[in-house]
Every structure is written in C-alpha cells, then in structure tokens.
Structure 1
Amino acid sequence: MRERLRVLDEIAVDVEIHKNPFHFELKDLFSMAARRNEKRAFLFVSKLLGKHIPINPKKALLTGRLLGYFIDQKTRGQSFNFELIVRALKDDKYIDEALEYANNNLITLHKPTLFIGFAETATALGNSVFAQFVGGNILYIHTTRDELMECTSTFDFEEEHSHATSHFCYPLREDILNDYERIVLVDDEITTGKTALNLIKSINHKYPKKEYVVVSILDWRRKEHIKEYKSLERELGVKIHEVSLVDGEAECNSPSVKGIEISYQNENLGDGPQVSENGSEVLVKDYSFVWGEYKNFTRRLCDGELKNYRYIESSGRFGISSGEISKIEASAGKIVSTIGAFNKRVIVLGTEEFMYIPMVIASKIPNAKYQSTTRSPIYANREESYGIQCASKFRSPFDKGITNYIYNIKENMYDEALFITEREVDKESKAEIINLFKSVGIYDISFIYF
C-alpha cells in the first residue's frame, strides 16, 4: 500500500511498506520534517532514537535490544520472545519487564563480530544493539566527526545525505578489523544504502571476505539500491545481511524548502539577570565525575585550529568490549544516586555523538525524558503532526564554529535539565546554554561532565 506523506504542504514523500514484521504503526516510529539540506529535503524524525524528540530513554535502549535479537534470528536462525519487547516499544508500561527479559537473555556469538555505529545519530543505537550481546569475541566502536591528529583512521568514508559527511574511525587497538569475521553496521535509517556500501568497500579493500550485517530502524532502499547490494556481494565475494524494523520505499521529488525562516526560542535572549519570571533565581549546579580511563588527543576544529581535549576511552569512539556495558550501567547508577533527588519533569540531554552514556544515566532517573543535541539544521513549525515543533540553537562548546540545535523542548515543558558532556564546558558556553534553558522556562540546570 502506497501512502503520501506531506510536509508543510511543501514536500510530498511517497512511502510504500514492503515488510513490517512487528506491525508497527508508522506514526509510532517517526514524524516528518523539512530540513536545510539540498541533498534531501525532508527528514524522518525518529520517535525511538532519543535524538530530536524527547523520549523515555528506556525505549531508545530497548529499540537497540530488539534489533540485536533480530540480527541473531537473521544470521543464526535463533528464536526469542520478540512479542514482549515489541509490546514495550508500543506501550511504556511494559518497558521495565522487557528490559529485564533482554538483560536475562543476552546472546553469545560464536563468530568474532565487530559492531560499528554511525555518527552522529546512531552512536547510542549501535551501542544499544551491541549491549544485547555478550562474550570476549565481540567489540563495539562508532565512527566520529572529530578529526584527531594523533590517530590514524582505520577507515574513512563519506555519508552522502548527511549535513556533515566525513566519518573517521579510531580504535585504540591496531589492525582491529583483522580480528573479526563478521561486521555489523548500525544506522538509524537507510535511504539508498550507499553509506554502508561505501564503508564495506573501504573495509574490503584492506580486509577482504568479511561477512556483513547492515542494521537500521528504517530501510527505504528501492529495488535499484537492493540490486547494488547483490551486485557488490558477487563482486567482492562477501555476504551482506539486512536487518530493519520496517522495510519499504520512500520517494520524494520535491525540492528543498526555501524562504522559511526558523524562529529560535533563545535567539533574542541576552545574558540578563538569572532569575525566573516569578523572581526565583536560576539554580545552576556542576557535577564532575571520574569515568574510567581517559586519553588526550589534539582535535582539528572546523576553522583549522588545533585544540587538545580529553576523551573517555569507554565512550564507544575508541572501541569497547561487552564487559564495559555492565560497568557503564553501574557507573550511571552511582551518578544518579550521588546527585540524589530530581524533579518529576526532568530532561536529560546528551551532546552530539556523546549519547549512550547520558542515555543510560537518564534511564536510571524516574520519569526522565532523554534526547541529544544535534548538528542537523531542521525547520521548526507548530503544525500539530509536524516532527519539529520548536528549536533552540547554540555554539558547540568544543568547536564554536559548529552550531548545535535542540528540538522539541517547549516553554514550561520541564522544570529541570541535566546537560551531560564528555568534559567540562567553558564559562562562555555555559552562559549561552543557561540562557537557552531560561528561554524555555527551565531554571534548575545541572552540568554533568567527566
């Protein structure tokens, strides 16, 4: 069945579903939005990722777990209780039970497997998929936009539809790809599949004859794109599995929307006194925690400046083992216990690629919602069914030439915000972020860093 989805009466996207094994309603998976991108005029705004839309963080974690089970079914024919997890993704009241089931039924792989998540949107999704597996023969790493001068990228490639296209990969172990027979590539959405194909070609050039699994929530490849996969399998002599929650086609011939100005909620807000409308002061708290081991690297900023930053080794950017997953869970629980009481209406924010650790922290806080900042510029509109209702923007604290965006935090929606970054935010950036939260009526603000 073919359905036409309209975006702001400016863009028409024709969607046809071929496979929907878990019978998800499309409205439960995504909303539509228009974006500032000449390569593709629209965006499927995921309701499962925790990126552009605030969600229950456990739902985002569980989405990865479901894909993990589906991978095992596709590659080894194993059978698990999909029904409970699917029910939980459709109804939050089953989420705790479903996560307990997933944790009690981790999967051991006999084939050495490397999981790779794509920056920036799928870094946490890839980690969540990886968390469903256990064993000493598996590893997770995500690609990064950060160009690190001391590191040699194991592979680099371009993402064709993305706003920021370059990917690097910096495992701390040399020759990492030689250790694994199967490579699992995780992205939130596949449009043409060329990003994965580019990566497979890049890997195969140095490490031939691997087995691949391409994983996504949404797979929109048309017949000609699927043929490209089959052709590449024959050309390289490899096997490529595909795993997704929904498989179909999406076609759009509309040009990118022009002439729409985005009104940012915080754009006209000066520094001003730090008091709320009722006269109470803004409460700003800083929490510095130690998180495992660190490495110092020199990052090339977008203007060419070189700057030294400290990175968390277990963030996923440099590779983590399955044993690190339980350590992340335990550390997140300790952080939440240390901070103590939270407001009932609390939003936890990860930043750009740094999504999984903040997401796990958020999952330990009762009633918390979670989302992340993003580099993607998207049009905001108050139309009821539109995916981006409102927008705020600020300069990235760690590369001020990059604009970051936060979407769908409406005025007076939350009483408290936790802004979680890999390292401490400088005073100038902190003031900008405080003003952003003030503009939406949040006066209890915690900066958490490591």
Structure 2
Amino acid sequence: MTGTGGPSAAGGTAGTGGPAWAGAWVADRLGVRLADGARPVGAGLSDLVGLAVRRNPRRAHLLVSAVLGKHVPTDPRLVYGAGLLLGGLVRARLHDVDVPSRAGAFLTDALDGAPGAAAALRDVLSEPQDPLDAIVFGYAETATALGHSVADALGGAYYLHSTRRPVPGFTAYGGFEEEHSHATSHLLLPANPADLDRDVPMVLVDDELSTGRTVLNTIEALHAVRPRRHYVLAALVDLRGDEDRARMDALAARLGARIDAVALAAGRVELPDGILDAGRALVASLTGPAAAPAAPAAPVTGAFPVTRARLDWPSGLPDGGRHGFLPSHRARLDKDLPRMADTIADGLGDGFSRVLVLGFEELMYAPLRLAEALADALPDADVRYSTTTRSPVLAVDDPGYAIRTRLAFPAHDDPADGPGERYAYNVSAGFDRIVFAVDGPGDTGALAGGLLARLRALAPVTIATVPSRRRDA
C-alpha cells in the first residue's frame, strides 16, 4: 500500500494519472467517503488508510492502514518509524517538546515509495532523547507492536498489551470488551502488577480511534483500580466526532484527571444510510451462489522447502508486552537484533529479491523488529512485514482495493476460545522468500498442515520461533 498516495475526500485517485487509491473500490460501490481533518505531521487521513469490506454484521467497512503492517506487507522501517512518530507526538504532549521537523517529510516521502525515506524516518526518530517515565498500554491484536513503538519513543516507559490468550500462572489484572471487535475477550496479564500501580502518565494506544468508547471504558476501569492524573489516547488516525470528544472531556471531569488525544492524522468517515445492508449484499454478490464461479483453487502441495532459523533468543527476554516489557528489555533486544537478523539472512540462500517477514496475530513487535533489522542487513532486497490475523475481510483483486489476496487456514495455537479460521492478507507469489516468526504456543503440528502448507506453496519458508515467557522465567 505504500506508494499509493492519497485520494480526495470523494475517494478518487492521487492525482491525474497516478495509481488508484486503495479505497476507491469501496468508495465507488458503498459510497464510503473519507474527509481529512488535522494533519499534524503532514500526512492526511486518506494517505494513511485504504478501505476494504468486512465479513462482520456490525461494521461493513474496514480501514486498512498503510503504516501498521497488519494486513498490508509494508517496509518495516516505515511501520516502526510511524510508531515512533506517534510516540513523538505523545512525548510532545507530555513534555512540551517538538517532534523533529524532518520526520513528517520523511513519512510522506516513505508513503510515496521514495528510496531511503522509510529508513530515514526510523533513524531520525531513533536519535537518543531523555527517557520519560510512563505506562504505555496497547490493544490486541492490532496495536501490540504500535504500542511497543510508542513506548520505545518514550525511552523510560513500561509497556503492556492486552491479550486474548490466558497463560497459566498469570493472574488477570482486569479485562474489557472491545465493542466493535469480532473476538471481544481481552485480558491484562502483567507479570508484576506493581508496574501498573503507579501515578505516572498512562498512554493508551490503538491503530484508530473511531468513537473512543473502548479507550474511555478502559480508562474508567483502570482508574477505579489505580487513579492517576494524566491519560493520553494515541492512534494512527482519529475519526472521532464532536460528541465523542465531549464524552472524553466529560469523563476527564468526572475522574478529576487530564485526558489528551494525539494522532498522526484526523478526519471522519462518512457513511451513507443503509451501509450495513449494502455491505452484506455486496459480500453476498461476490461470495454467494449467485456470484460468478471462482477459479479452481490451486492445490496446496507445499512445493518449496521449509527451514528453521535458530535465533538463540536472549534468555529471559520477553517475546513482547503480553506480561510487561521494561526499558531494560528494550535495550537488550536492540543489542541482539543485528545478530538474529544475520542468522535469518544467512539461511535464506541466494537468488532472492523480495522477502516477507510474517508475524503471528498478537506477536507483532518481535517480528517487526526482526524484519527491520533484516531490511538493514539486506540492502539489496525488498523486505516487507505483515502478520496473520483473526479478522475476516473480503479479498478483491483490484488495484483500488486494500486487500488483494487472502490465505485462510485453521488456528494453530489451540486458542482458549476454540478453533477457528485465521487469515494472512496480500501474501502472494510475488515474494521469493517468506520468514514466519511465531511464538512457542503457535509452533505446533497444526501449523504444518495449515498456514505452513499455504506459505510453502508460494516460496521457500524459514520458521523463526520466539520463545514465550513462562511464569517461572
């Protein structure tokens, strides 16, 4: 999706003769429109997202981010840089400092596909700054790496993300319901609850703020356990209306706390009447009995080889923020990333030009940082990053649509809420190497006959397993 530019509010293309906006297909068929609002770093709402159609009875459309690396394989340095940039906006709100002026230009250049811009964005935002003590909280599954990146930008922040995976030995601190999600159970499982019980600023990070209800519900629940004076909502895009912002202000007054919000871009999604019925009808027309016959599915034969990269993941280093991630963990990971990336690169062999590093659902940060280091280690290769997901989305092979292809496969981590279908989007034969970064609970026998069989039908696959933290670790 990088390099697609942005549309007008009417959902057109990025200039005469330019490439189609990856939301034009939905805009044309469902009448969905994006209207730009504030652009604090230069990029507009429609530069940062495209559109797809959900297979969800409660929401017809899906905003597909150009900088999140969830559904769209993206330069990992752009993904990490965008997260650091969001963290820079948080830092500016907490500490009254300016975000480096070059960062916004690098972001827009990277979105346009300018060579070197993604790395420049990451590098300028990685320059040392004084650490800020804060608690950063990210929402699973989509914002786990984004929250990590915001915490990295603050330097001294403790990071925790919610999880859908109960872990034996860890006691839940609390839970909440994400109202629009297709899988709503979330847990907070900090290894040390005392890390949360501090009156320091809390930053709540999600990929988008649609109404803000989920984040405000979280604040209210956490404030009841441990009141604090300052909260910051941070998102890539802020779509809230006046009533939503008034609701935030009312909660702040009721709690006696300050609540701020920052985003890379703001605006609104304009939906026509009857959008849910129209979305359901559109999905049915493309997938139901009346749809045109689909081409025969290619047999999943697993033609390409599978190898394993021995990462030698540092002992005791968490795989992410499911149980908490400290500044000392961050420093240790940074030290070991180049070594682990070299291990992966050495196992890829020769004769490749495009590499996908594919993460696994909530496991987004470790794969992102490995992909980022791999891109640095392989300057002549196009390294991209995305992850698998639970989210069911319609795929349409059209340049004006954000989700071009879909791989469906059974869950392979024995999920607590039972078996189900999982997905990897925009993963195609255009990649000539695939690195699948998975945690221990996901590296099971079910992986071989499901996702792995589909991946190895496309390209040689390298599995990089990141050990999950145990209660006694």
Mark the CA change 1:428 to 1:152 in structure 2 (over 3 Å): closer, same or farther. closer
Aligned counterpart in structure 2 of residue 370 of structure 1, from 367, 385, 392: 385
Aligned to 1:45, what secondary structure does the other structure show?
strand
- Alignment match, 1:309: none
Give the distance between the partners of 1:104 and 1:268, measured in 2 at CA.
Answer: 48
| 2:129 is the alignment partner of 1:106 | yes
Aligned to 1:350: 359
Aligned partner letter, 2:313: W
1:173, distance to aligned residue in structure 2 (A): 0.6
- 1:136-155 aligned at under 5 Å gives the runs 138-155=157-174
> Per the alignment, in what secondary structure is the counterpart of residue 450 of structure 2?
helix
- What is the aligned counterpart of 1:77 among 78, 81, 96? 96
Q: Alignment partner for residue 118 of structure 2, among 79, 95, 110?
A: 95
**Distance between the aligned counterparts of 2:345 and 2:407, measured in 1?**
28
Q: 1:211 to 1:140 in 2, by over 3 A?
A: same
Match for residue 250 of structure 2? 231
Matched residue, 1:302: none
Structure 2 residue 142 is matched with structure 1 residue 121? yes
Aligned to 1:162: 181
Structure 2 residue 287 is matched with structure 1 residue 287: no
Which sections of structure 1, spanning at least 5 residues, go unmatched?
A: 276-281, 295-311
Contact (CA 8 Å) 1:62, 1:89: kept in 2 or not?
Answer: no
Is 1:31 the equivalent of 2:50?
yes
Question: Which stretch shifts more, 237-246 or 284-293?
Answer: 284-293
- 1:264-283 aligned at under 5 Å gives the runs 268-270=297-299, 272=301, 274-275=302-303, 282-283=304-305
Please state which structure has a larger fraction of its residues in strand. Answer: 1
Q: 2:448 aligned with 1:430, yes or no?
A: yes
Aligned to 1:261: 287
Please tell me whether the aligned partners of residues 17 and 249 of structure 1 are also in contact (alpha carbons under 8 angstroms). Answer: yes
Further displaced range: 425-434 or 141-150? 425-434
Decide which structure has greater helix share: 2
Scaled by the length of structure 2, what TM-score is found? 0.83
Tell me, yes or no, if the aligned pair for 2:368 and 2:385 is still in contact at 8 Å. Answer: yes
- 1:219-274: CA deviations, max 9, x gaps? 101111111101111111111010001112223241132413299x99945554x4
Q: Percent identity?
A: 28
Q: Say if 2:350 is the partner of 1:334.
A: no
Equivalence for 1:398: 413
When residues 408 and 245 of structure 1 are mapped into structure 2, their CA distance, relative to the original with a 3 A threshold, is same
- Trace 1:161-310 onto structure 2 (pairs within 5 A): 161-252=180-271, 253=273, 254-255=275-276, 256-258=279-281, 259=284, 260-261=286-287, 268-270=297-299, 272=301, 274-275=302-303, 282-293=304-315
SS state at 1:51 partner: coil
The answer as to whether partners of 2:361 and 2:387 remain within 8 angstroms in 1 is: yes
Measured against aligned partners, the alpha-carbon deviations of 1:198-237 in whole angstroms (never above 9, x if no partner) come to: 1011011111243100000111011111111011111111
Q: Which amino acid aligns with 1:250?
A: V
Counterpart-to-counterpart distance in 2, 1:127 and 1:161: 23
How many Å apart are 1:98 and its aligned residue?
3.2
1:413 partnered with 2:422 = no
Structure 1 partner of 2:370: 361
| TM-score normalised to structure 1 length | 0.87
Task: Please report how far the alpha carbon of residue 396 of structure 1 lies from its aligned counterpart in structure 2 after TM superposition.
Answer: 1.9
Distance 1:209 1:228 in 2: 19
| Residue 41 of structure 1, CA deviation | 0.7
Give the equivalent residue in structure 2 for 1:306. none
Contact 1:66 1:86 in 2 (8 A): no
Root-mean-square deviation (CA, aligned residues, Å) is: 2.5
Q: State the Cα distance separating 1:326 from its structure 2 match.
A: 2.6
Structure 2 Cα separation of the partners of residues 385 and 271 of structure 1 = 28
Once residues 140 and 426 of structure 1 are traced to their aligned partners in structure 2, the CA distance between those partners, rounded to angstroms, is 28
CA gap 1:385/1:6 in 2 versus in 1, 3 angstroms: closer
Q: Report the Cα distance in structure 2 between the residues aligned to 1:157 and 1:293, rounded to whole angstroms.
A: 32
Task: Report how far residue 350 of structure 1 moved.
Answer: 0.4
The CA distance in 2 between the partners of 1:176 and 1:336, in whole Å, is: 31
